[in-house]
Amino acid sequence: MLTKILQYTFKFLARQTVRRRKPIVIAVTGTVGKTSTREAIAKVLATTYRVRTPKKNFNNEWGVPFTIIGVEPYGRNPFRWLWALYRGIEAAFCLCRMQDYPEVLVLEYGIDKPGDMEYLAGICALDAAVITALGEIPVHVSNFTSRESLWDEKLKIARALKPDGILFYGADDAALAERASKASVHHRAFGQSRTSHIKAEQVQMMEDTDGLPVGISCTVCVGDACRPLHIPRLAGVHQLSGALAAVAVGDLLKVPAARVEAALRELKPLPGRLNALGGVKNTWILDDTYNASPQSTKAALAVLAACKPRRRIAVLGDMLELGGFTEEAHHDIGACAAASCDLIITVGAKAKFIAEAAMQEGMKPEALRSFEFSTEAGKPLESMLKPGDVVLVKGSQGMRMERVVEEVMAEPQRKRELLVRQDASWLGL
């Protein structure tokens, strides 16, 4: 009961804060790429505005109000919760320090069950909403009656838009494009699709002399105005979507094009989001361990497949919360992996379907290894590695695949900086 009272209290304080401080509010949702897209938007807008965006993945019924107010979760410390309430009351009702409040809030809305988006949409009105993708088999679908009901829940973010607010959506996702284009709100599409209002053309992956991906080059058109764009640190073409969303929001808020381009040139992947790291024995690791869905795993495997003529290894953990799609999705990934790499290591009971499908596609048994837990896979992987290998490591959050990366990264002393889930709550400290 006390938890619910606190939750609704912070929601009320967040709503009042927005009403009094009147920031421009942007919210990002989708089944993949939410955090990377939010970070790209915040980076672009920060060239012109005072911007606040969550420091971590604060995207639920607690995290969104905390971000608006400007506090962080405080565990079980009652005195710090009292401090958070004081800060919330100050933000919502006190006129002092008005000039310190951000001009723009870039929020992230995450959902994992029915009703989540409806709750988040009720916190404040939005000037713009961004939906990255819906995905053919979306994460958390196991908590919904169907994937269509999950899609519908995501699209409820449009209900939070102001009358003149705009819904931006990824046009390269067929399910999203079909639904969002019919929404009874102002909407604009971004992507490589010809129907996009903000469109990327002539997209190329840039490679170094050893054949490793070192960035994306393209031409971005906003209406009839086209400009070249180069993002040197992104490894996968699918990561371009977040940059295009940032271009779209930047255009809406009249950020000069030169500033947008400069900000995106400095964009780099967050830990665990297809981040290229040096590995032991002069190898490379594509660390994509933050989470996994069928859509994001296929995209990561496409990046690995492009790393020729090197030996390519995929370490793939279970994709969780897929409900009735579980076996089908893992079989599909297995077929894709067999065509993308030379060795496959699976982690988890569900990922064994990946190995099974890879063998059906003609992969030899000696090119496959399976383990139950991520803690078991690191050392055997290290023994297999040869100089020049490229290793993709990916799996759902609950599989803790960053533990595999920790075993084979060249600079384990920097794990707190480079890997996901390194704070005290995840490490059990």
pLDDT of 183 strictly over 80:
yes
Q: For residue 191, what are the β-bridge partners?
A: 199
Average pLDDT over residues 315-325: 96
pLDDT band at 429 (very low <50, low <70, confident <90, very high): very low
pLDDT in tens, 327-362: 999 999 999 999 999 999 999 999 999 999 999 999
- Could you give the dihedral angle defined by the CA atoms of residues 284, 290, 291 and 292, in that order, rounded to the nearest 10 degrees? -10
DSSP 3-state of 173: coil
Pairwise CA distance, residues 417 & 318, whole Å: 25
Give the pLDDT confidence score for residue 206 in this predicted structure.
86
Distance in angstroms (rounded) separating the CA atoms of residues 362 and 385 = 22
Q: Which two tokens stand for residue 182?
A: 């019919």
Average pLDDT over residues 214-236: 92
The model's confidence at residue 117, banded by pLDDT at 50, 70 and 90, is very high
Average pLDDT over residues 99-116: 94
Between residues 386 and 233, the one the model is more confident about = 386
Q: Would you say 386 and 297 are in contact if contact means Cβ atoms under 8 Å apart?
A: no
Tokens of 227: 């400009």
Q: Lowest mean pLDDT of 195-204, 237-246, 304-313, name the range.
A: 304-313
**Pick the residue with more confidence: 111 or 72?**
111
Crossing angle of the two packed helices 34-45 and 257-265, in degrees rounded to 10? 130
Render 203-221 in DSSP notation, one character per residue.
EEEEE-TTS-EEEEEEEEE
pLDDT in the model for residue 192: 96
Domains and CATH numbers, the chain: 2-192+240-265 (3.40.1190.10), 275-427 (3.90.190.20)
Contact call for residues 34 and 59 (beta carbons, < 8 A): yes
What is the predicted pLDDT for the residue at 364? 96
Confidence of residue 95 (pLDDT cuts 50, 70, 90): low
Distance, CA of 69 to CA of 60 (rounded, Å): 14
DSSP conformation class of 238? G
- What pLDDT does residue 97 have? 60
Average pLDDT, the chain: 94
Helix-strand-coil split of the chain, %, nearest 5: 45, 20, 35
Angle at 307 between CA 305 and CA 308, to 5 degrees: 95
Question: Model pTM?
Answer: 0.94
CA distance 352 to 211: 30
pLDDT digits (tens, 9 = 90+) for 374-427: 999 999 999 999 999 999 999 999 999 999 999 999 999 999 999 999 987 788
State the sign of the Cα–Cα–Cα–Cα dihedral 60, 65, 71, 74: negative
pLDDT of residue 320: 96
The torsion of the CA quartet 217, 223, 226, 228, rounded to 10 degrees, works out to -20
Statement: residue 75 has pLDDT above 50: yes
Read off the pLDDT of each residue in 180-190 and give the average, rounded to a whole number. 95
- Centroid of chain to Cα 302: 17
Say whether pLDDT at 159 is over 50.
yes
Closest residue by Cα to residue 259 from 12, 31, 45, 4: 45
* DSSP H or E stretch at residue 265: helix 257-265
Give every strand in the sheet of 198-207, ordered side by side.
Answer: 51-52, 104-108, 24-29, 126-131, 161-170, 186-191, 198-207, 213-222, 225-231
Query: Best-predicted range by mean pLDDT among 33-42, 92-101, 200-209?
Result: 33-42
Task: Decide if 27 contacts 107 (C-beta within 8 A).
Answer: yes
pLDDT mean over 31-56: 95
The answer, yes or no, to whether residue 25 has pLDDT greater than 90, is yes
Sequence letter at residue 304 = L
pLDDT score at 80: 84
CA 311 to chain centre: 27
Of residues 208 and 411, the one with the higher pLDDT is 411
* Whole-number pLDDT of residue 99: 67
- Crossing angle for the helix pair 352-360 and 326-338, nearest 10 degrees? 50
